[in-house]
Structure formats: structure tokens, C-alpha cells
Chain A
């Protein structure tokens, strides 16, 4: 079991409020990603759950039990750190076994569990090596092995893939997701990379300035962003925001349209503009269009499009995929 509930959790360092009251319900076995720009408090929130920081107010319940006064080791959670935090002088075996050794398990049982964890993570040939003799991906797997061997109620991941190169990151992303599904253990994963968030999460928590902006499945966030911040943060390239007269015609202070929902035409209806930059990726074409008073718009076309900088185009939004926001930035729903 690993059901985690946050009730009005607050954290301040002196006069600075980092977390301004977070309420959250994480159901057992789900993969929840905290995402947000740097300094939004996502790591702090994770550390509060882990017990590495003390809350300034509110409750953290794990399986219905308030744990705010419980030391980290007794909360039944395990954490994978950004730097991996492997113990450099211990072998891979020693690293994975350390938590079990501290728990005072008998040697035979420790060995059995360590070997099982190593087998799951393809680390068996490296058990007697030191961390410095391993590659980045292998170190990452040792850190994960150290987490799973304790059979925790939940895994906490603090930006674990940010030190890997792009190709390895994609691979580890898959491995972590697969492992979590296989073990069925609750996982909380902190990242600033929205692609990681969208691909790995069952549910995403978008944080900004110490507040939870929205909590929902990846597609909910994509299709029904609660406010301007979420709309702008989720999706790549960023959503286009248009305010002023054009937005007024839709009874909104601001309207948003994703680059992939802008139809590109050479003639007919639409906002006229001239292409500033055209990026041809083969699979996609990204156009950065100067649309006069409306501003700069980004448009995405699946497949190749024979346009280049300087060309004039007309952009028309998909009316069903238009997002409307009021003055305070909140989403308006029809």
C-alpha cells in the first residue's frame, strides 16, 4: 500500500514561503510527476514528503497515518537523488544492501534481496564494482536498486535523469516506467522536463511559485489547462497567446491556440503574416510567423512543407481547439 495525502502542507524558510498550502491525493500504485519551472518548490515538496525537511504547517498522510513527526527512515519511502548519492567507497552490493543492513536484516536475506534487485536491473555482473567504475546509466540503476530493495510504500525520484545524455534519458525513462508498472509501487517523480512528465505520469502536478496550479492526467492538462500558466507550460512548442481585439471577439481576455492547431494556408481565410524562421525536421515543420498586430505565432505542421523565411502565409485556428482565458488568467469553459 502506498496512498499519500497532503493536507494544506506549507513550508517556509524564514520569511520566504516556498510551499503555500498544497493539497493532494495520490492513490496507491500511481505514477505522479511534479513538474514546474525551477524554484517552483517541486523538490521542496518532495523533500517534505520524504521527511528530509520538516513541514511548517499541514499534514502528510501515508496510508491514512500522519507522518509529519516520523523520521525519514520510518516513513517507508525510498528516494533516488539527482546526484544518485551513491556511497563511493562501497561496492554496488554494499550500496544496495546498506538500507537492509541498517534495518538489521539477517545476512542471508540481505544477499537474496540484493541479488534479486540486481537481477531486475541487469546489475548482476557489476555487483562487486565501485560506483566510480560504472557508467552514468549504471550508476542510475544502482540508485534505483537501492530504492527498490527496501520494498518501500512509494518511490521518490528527484530529477533522476537530468545528468544523463539525451539518448540514455529516453531509455531510462522507459525503464523506470516499466519497472514502476511491474512493481506496482506508488511513485512520485520530480522533473522540470515536461516531456518526461507527459510520457511517464499517470497524473501530473503542475507547480508554480509554491502553489499547485493543476492536478490531472497528461491529456487533461493538454486539452483542458486550468489557467494560462499550465497552458503555457505544457506542450512543446509553447501555446500561442493572443490578447486584445482578436481575443475580445471570442469573449475572452486572452485566447490560446497550440502550434499544432493552427492551419497553415497560402490563400483563403486566416491571420496573415510573414515567416521569420522555418525549421524543417522532416517529420515536422515549425514556422515562426510575424502576424503583425497579433504578435509572433508558432505553427506546427506534421510532415514537410515547402515554405521558407519571407514567405507570406495565412494562419487559422482550429475553432474546437481554442482555449479562452479571463483577465485573471483562469480558463473559461463553454
Chain B
């Protein structure tokens, strides 16, 4: 009973925006012509779902999420194993590895855009020139891959950190038992370490997915969704619907579609990897 006010507040906090979004999604409501808002039923949904940009951005979203998940886990495991080794200055190295996570997405995207990936004055271009190779215009030639690199760089510390703490909780005696049983470094990794990491990997996948479905700042700052639709994901598409085309109704419909997509993804993720979390 005493929890009622808190629960009620949280409920209102959640239900009001949702109710408004649903309401707007059923209106033809353009900011340039807000006087003529009128009820149109599910027209906005039909428009949004049949828009070619929707399928392209859905595909971009899934590619972005999948690639970043793969990169951060595949690189995070060896990195965590490395940081688990006793070396001098380990704490400082750990701090430095974790640092990218504390950089604001906008800032890190600008750093990547102007200092690293710039086709004329960027570090990568300079390195390419050293070897006599032509410099890559990252955001025109491989825009989605460039975004994937930036986002992976931001999320790698998170994956590494979770995996590192898991590694530190691995019982030393288990590794010694495996050693006595004749398991080499590779066998110990496959049969002892990797199964031990199954659960933290699941946690990384679930948490990262939630945030990666809504990547926005990196795209906004670097490519603005282009060229064409090559780096437009669902979040960016909704933004452009609302604040570039001023179509509040369409954007609201898109937002609701995004909620449904997120739930579908979450449902399958929990089915596939969530079993690890039981027991």
C-alpha cells in the first residue's frame, strides 16, 4: 500500500508519453500546418511501413547492432584475458581501456570524424599516405562501416569490463584442476573459461542491444544518415520524419513501430541467449 504513490507516479510518467504518442500517431499532424490536424486512423502506419526508407533503415539498424555486438565481444574477450594478467601498471592500463566509455557519443563521433577519419587531415589518411595508399573517404566510401567502428570503439570498454570482472571471479582452483587434468592453455580456455563467460556474454548482448537499437548521436554528427539512406537507422529515420519533415504523426507511428521492433528483438534474444541467465 505504501508503494502506491511511487508506482502511480512511475505509471503516469510512462503512460502519458505513450498515450500521447499513440494519439499523435493517429492524426495527420504536420508542424508546418498544425491547424489542420485531423484523425486519419492507421494511415500514418501504412505510410511509414511502406516507405522504402523504412526497410533500408531497419536493415541498417540490424547490421549495426549485430556488427557492434560481434566486434565488442570478439575483441572484448581477448582484451579481458589480457587485462586479467598480472602486469605492472595494470590499474592504469585498465583505466585507459575503460576511458572511451566515459566520452560523450557526440564528442567521440567528432573526434573520429575530424581527427581520425578525415580524408585529408585525419590520422588514418596520414597513415595510408605513409604507405603510399590512397586515403579512404570513410563517410562516403564505407559510411555504415565507419559508424560501426565508432560505436564499437565506444562499447568495447563495456564488454571488456563485464568480461574482466567475470574472469576475476573464475575460481583459481578450477584452472589448477584443469591443469592437473592435463588441459593446455587452449583447452582450459575452451572448456573452463568460455563456459564460465557464457553468462556475462549474455548480459553484454542484452544490455548492448538495448542501447544499440537507439544509436543516434554518432550518425547525426558524422553522416546525417547519408549518403542517401546508407547510415539511416530507425532512430534516425524517426528523427528526420519529425524534425526534418515536421511530420509529427508519421514520426509517432514510427516510434511505435520501433517499440514493437525492440520488443521482437528482445523476445528472440531472451529466447536464444536468455537461457544462460536461468539458475
Seen from chain A, the residues whose Cβ lies within 8 Å of a Cβ on chain B are 50, 52, 71-74, 77-79, 81-83, 85-90, 98-99, 102-103, 132, 146, 150
A87-B191, A89-B196, A98-B191 known; A103 vs B176 contact (CB < 8 Å): no
Query: Among B180, B191, B196, which residue has the most Cβ atoms of chain A within 10 A?
Result: B180
**Interface residue stretch chosen among B10-18, B115-123, B181-189:** B181-189
Q: A79-B176, A98-B178, A99-B181 are in contact. List 9 more A-B contacts (CB 8 A).
A: A50-B180, A73-B182, A79-B177, A86-B174, A87-B177, A89-B195, A90-B195, A98-B181, A102-B183
Which residue of B173, B174, B181, B191 is within 8 Å of A73 (Cβ)?
B181
Does any Cβ of A come within 8 Å of B273's Cβ? no
Does any Cβ of A come within 8 Å of B62's Cβ? no
Contact between chains at A81 and B181 (CB < 8 Å): no
Seen from chain B, the residues whose Cβ lies within 8 Å of a Cβ on chain A are 171, 173-174, 176-183, 187, 191-192, 195-196, 198, 279
Which residue of B178, B182, B279 is within 8 Å of A103 (Cβ)?
B182
| Chain B residues near A150 (CB-CB < 8 A) | 181
Chosen A-B contacts, 28 in total, with CB atoms closer than 8 Å, are A50-B180, A52-B179, A52-B180, A72-B179, A72-B180, A74-B182, A79-B180, A81-B177, A82-B173, A85-B171, A85-B177, A86-B174, A87-B178, A87-B191, A87-B192, A87-B195, A88-B196, A89-B195, A89-B196, A89-B198, A90-B195, A98-B183, A99-B180, A99-B182, A103-B182, A132-B279, A146-B177, A150-B181
Contact between chains at B187 and A102 (CB < 8 Å): yes
| Chain A residues near B187 (CB-CB < 8 A) | 102
CA distance A103 to B196 in the complex (A): 22
Contact between chains at A85 and B173 (CB < 8 Å): yes
CA distance A102 to B177 in the complex (A): 12
CA distance A79 to B279 in the complex (A): 29
CA distance A90 to B171 in the complex (A): 15
| Chain B residues near A102 (CB-CB < 8 A) | 181-183, 187
Contact between chains at B176 and A81 (CB < 8 Å): yes
Contact between chains at A146 and B173 (CB < 8 Å): no
CA distance A123 to B181 in the complex (A): 20
Contact between chains at A85 and B176 (CB < 8 Å): yes
Shortest Cβ-Cβ A-B pairs, 5 listed: A73-B182, A99-B181, A85-B173, A85-B177, A102-B182
Q: How far is the CB of A120 from chain B (nearest CB, A)?
A: 19
Beta-carbon nearest neighbor of A52 in chain B: B176
CA distance A79 to B196 in the complex (A): 22
Contact between chains at B180 and A77 (CB < 8 Å): yes
| Chain A residues near B183 (CB-CB < 8 A) | 73, 98, 102
Contact between chains at B176 and A73 (CB < 8 Å): no
Contact between chains at A146 and B181 (CB < 8 Å): yes
Beta-carbon nearest neighbor of A79 in chain B: B180
Contact between chains at A73 and B180 (CB < 8 Å): yes
Contact between chains at A85 and B174 (CB < 8 Å): yes
| Chain A residues near B176 (CB-CB < 8 A) | 52, 79, 81, 85
| Chain A residues near B198 (CB-CB < 8 A) | 89
CA distance A268 to B257 in the complex (A): 101
Beta-carbon nearest neighbor of A104 in chain B: B182
| Chain A residues near B178 (CB-CB < 8 A) | 87, 98
CA distance A73 to B182 in the complex (A): 5
CA distance A150 to B178 in the complex (A): 13
CA distance A99 to B198 in the complex (A): 22
CA distance A96 to B200 in the complex (A): 26
| Chain B residues near A89 (CB-CB < 8 A) | 195-196, 198
A52-B176, A98-B191, A102-B187 known; A83 vs B182 contact (CB < 8 Å): no
| Chain A residues near B179 (CB-CB < 8 A) | 52, 71-73
Beta-carbon nearest neighbor of B179 in chain A: A72
Q: How far is the CB of B3 from chain A (nearest CB, A)?
A: 34
Query: Among B173, B181, B183, B198, which residue has the most Cβ atoms of chain A within 10 A?
Result: B181
Contact between chains at B173 and A81 (CB < 8 Å): yes
A87-B191, A98-B191 known; A78 vs B180 contact (CB < 8 Å): yes
| Chain A residues near B195 (CB-CB < 8 A) | 87, 89-90
CA distance A83 to B172 in the complex (A): 10
Q: How far is the CB of B195 from chain A (nearest CB, A)?
A: 4
CA distance A77 to B181 in the complex (A): 9
CA distance A88 to B195 in the complex (A): 9
| Chain B residues near A132 (CB-CB < 8 A) | 279
| Chain A residues near B191 (CB-CB < 8 A) | 87, 90, 98
Beta-carbon nearest neighbor of A47 in chain B: B176
CA distance A79 to B176 in the complex (A): 9
CA distance A132 to B278 in the complex (A): 13
Beta-carbon nearest neighbor of B177 in chain A: A85
Beta-carbon nearest neighbor of B176 in chain A: A52
Contact between chains at B181 and A83 (CB < 8 Å): no
Q: How far is the CB of B176 from chain A (nearest CB, A)?
A: 5
Query: Among A79, A85, A99, A103, which residue has the most Cβ atoms of chain B within 10 A?
Result: A85
CA distance A89 to B182 in the complex (A): 18
Contact between chains at B182 and A87 (CB < 8 Å): no
Beta-carbon nearest neighbor of A97 in chain B: B181
Beta-carbon nearest neighbor of B279 in chain A: A132
| Chain B residues near A88 (CB-CB < 8 A) | 196
Q: How far is the CB of A161 from chain B (nearest CB, A)?
A: 16
| Chain B residues near A71 (CB-CB < 8 A) | 179
Beta-carbon nearest neighbor of A103 in chain B: B182
Q: How far is the CB of A224 from chain B (nearest CB, A)?
A: 37
Q: How far is the CB of B62 from chain A (nearest CB, A)?
A: 30
CA distance A102 to B180 in the complex (A): 10
| Chain A residues near B279 (CB-CB < 8 A) | 132
Q: How far is the CB of A326 from chain B (nearest CB, A)?
A: 43
